[in-house]
Amino acid sequence: HGRTPHNNLGLFTGWEDPPLAPDGVEDAKNAGRLLKMHGFEFDVVYTSWLTRAIQTAWYCMEELDETWLPTVKSWRLNERMYGALTGKSKQMIANEYGEDQLKKWRRGFKIRPPAVSPYSLSYPGNDYKRTKYVKDLRISLTETIFRSIQAKEFQIHRKFPKSEALWDCMQRSIPFYTQRIVPEAVDKGKRVLITSHENAIRGILMHLCEIPEEAMNQLHLPNGLPLVYNVKRKCITLLDEGTGEDPMEVHDFGPAAQYLFRPCELDDDFFDQMEQQALANQEASKSKEVVST
């Protein structure tokens, strides 16, 4: 997704729900323009329940002239839940706990940050939007009892995450991809656009690109940059932004980029298809100009 005020201020965002910042809106629009420039069209969009990802999807679709696309939203594509760190400054956490601990909490594969209190505003179970619509989480017996006593009426409460490591985030994002997106769209030949969050996408990429666990803390994903995954050849490619600069030199993916961008030979049919689609889009644009004139 595009940048948010939290990104710009260096805050842990997680399940907190800020909108895109003005430069984040441009990130999303630029991503849509780049996809359109290369002739991409989509059949379905998958995104999270968080505003920044939903807005990114919308601005991309708007630039692609595809705002009508069916959109599937799921909390399973949400960002990793940062627990008690949610909304706090990364620099402040480094000053209080040290750089090493900050790195463990941010990049540790199975290391969870301190859990958030169930009475905190940062706890997802205190958000009416989530408690009303999330039905595919186990019921929490403890929270159900405590909250029913407090409300003086029986209330079912589900087991919302109070903190997650990257591994926990992957336990929901990868099954959503393999059990929902693949059978619903990929296996049917549909062209899929996913707008989500760094850790949810890192997990999916670990699955798709077979990135080893020990390399995951060295993989960084820039905001608002389209990554094109070729299902047949199982590889990631970047789109030429038309600046004359190598995208790999412009964007920092970290040392684990070697796993992400393995050599990928695209056949002539792929390029022919993209060229034909780009020409078709140009003709459609000319037709619109003639009609409007």
**What are the CB-based long-range contacts (under 8 Å, 24+) for 215-219?**
215/255, 215/256, 215/259, 216/107, 216/109, 216/166, 216/256, 217/103, 217/107, 217/108, 217/109, 218/107, 218/254, 218/255, 218/256, 219/253, 219/254, 219/256, 219/257, 219/259, 219/260
The amino acid occupying position 186 is V
199: CB partners within 8 A, 6+ apart: 79, 80, 166, 169
DSSP character for 125? G
Catalytic residue among 1, 6, 38, 197: 1
41 counts as catalytic:
no
79 flagged as catalytic: yes
What is the number of helices (H) and of strands (E) in the chain?
13, 5
Q: How many CB atoms lie within 10 A of CB 41?
A: 15
Catalytic residue among 63, 79, 164, 198: 79
The β-bridge partners of 192 are: 44
Residues labelled catalytic: 1, 79
